[in-house]
């Protein structure tokens, strides 16, 4: 067994423990950020296992999307965002997700980019990017970096501490890239294990 195989086995063992105890995992950072930004708004289901909160920020209408928790679900964020784009004509789409860090990079570092931050087989990314692109809606990705083990294990303190910085970056992006009266979609992508 190689060192890599041992690390992978250790990661899966940690994941089993986190899921058995119902603890939030690192990959839940996107839904956690969406929930914290919702500020007590009531959710409504807009796709299977996918909820939306409607709230405001500096005169903008925010539509916050995430998977329904606290069970281990990733929902259908691509279909949900596509539906919201068709119904609301937003001026901006922001996606927030976990991202794999490079060896030597610190966990919990927050980074920004262009496009949709969403892993997996690409179906959800396609729905988001295709519907936003055909309407010329800018897409901003905000990610919190972590190791593969941290993504599938109980959320570490370093990752949890990145939540406030990520929220600050999301808010700054919204303020810089939209104006009062605009509608903005923020999609918190990830697994809702342990996140109500």
Could you report the per-residue pLDDT of 65-121, keeping only the tens digit for each? 999 999 889 999 999 999 999 999 999 999 999 999 998 999 999 999 999 988 877
Give the pLDDT score at 136: 98
Query: Is 3 a residue whose pLDDT tops 60?
Result: no
User: How high is the pLDDT of residue 17?
Assistant: 79
How many Cα atoms within 13 Å fall on the side-chain side of residue 152? 12
193 part of a folded domain:
no
For residue 103, tell me if it sits in a domain.
Answer: yes
Which whole number is the average pLDDT over 34-41?
Answer: 94
Q: How many CB atoms lie within 10 A of CB 186?
A: 31
Q: Does the pLDDT of residue 58 top 90, yes or no?
A: yes
In the prediction, which pLDDT does 19 show?
A: 80
Residue 160 to residue 155: CA distance in whole angstroms: 7
pLDDT digits (tens, 9 = 90+) for 115-157: 998 887 788 999 999 999 999 999 999 999 999 999 999 999 9
Would residue 151 count as lying in a domain? yes
**pLDDT for residue 13:** 78
Average pLDDT score, the chain? 93
Residues 6+ apart with CB under 8 A from 117: 30, 95, 96, 97, 99, 141, 142, 143, 189
* pLDDT exceeds cutoff 60 at 1: no
What is the model's pLDDT at position 122? 83
How far, CA to CA in Å, does 32 sit from each of 2, 48, 50, 75, 160?
A: 35, 19, 14, 14, 9
Higher pLDDT, 61 or 12: 61
Find the domain containing 14 and state its range: 3-188
Does residue 194 form part of some domain?
no
Q: Is 8 helix (H, G, I), strand (E, B) or coil?
A: helix
Is 196 inside any structural domain?
no
HSE at residue 139, side-chain half, CA atoms within 13 A, is: 24
Q: How many domains does the chain have?
A: 1
Is 107 inside a domain boundary?
Answer: yes
With a cut of 80, say whether residue 164 has pLDDT above it: yes
CATH of the domain at 12: 3.40.50.1470
What the block records as the tokens of 66 is 């995430």
23-36: per-residue pLDDT in tens? 899 999 999 999 99
Q: How many CB atoms lie within 10 A of CB 6?
A: 10
Within a domain: 91: yes
The answer to whether residues 52 and 44 touch, using CB atoms and an 8 Å cutoff, is: yes
Domain-embedded: residue 35: yes
């Amino acid at each position: 067994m190689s060192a890599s195989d041992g690390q992978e086995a250790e990661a899966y063992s940690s994941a089993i423990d986190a899921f058995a105890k119902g603890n939030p995992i690192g990959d839940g950072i996107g839904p956690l950020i969406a929930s914290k930004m919702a500020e007590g708004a009531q959710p409504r289901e807009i796709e299977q296992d996918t909820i939306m909160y409607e709230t405001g920020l500096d005169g903008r209408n925010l539509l916050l999307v995430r998977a329904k928790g606290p069970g281990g679900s990733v929902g259908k964020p691509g279909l949900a965002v596509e539906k919201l784009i068709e119904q609301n004509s937003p001026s901006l789409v922001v996606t927030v997700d976990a991202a794999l860090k490079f060896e030597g990079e610190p966990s919990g570092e927050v980074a920004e980019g262009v496009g949709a931050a969403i892993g997996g087989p690409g179906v959800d990314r396609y729905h988001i990017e295709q519907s936003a692109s055909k309407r010329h809606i800018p897409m901003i990705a905000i990610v919190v970096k972590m190791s593969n083990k941290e993504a599938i294990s109980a959320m570490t303190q370093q990752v949890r501490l990145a939540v406030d910085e990520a929220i600050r970056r999301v808010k700054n992006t919204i303020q810089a890239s939209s104006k009062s009266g605009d509608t903005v979609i923020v999609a918190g992508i990830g697994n809702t294990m342990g996140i109500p």
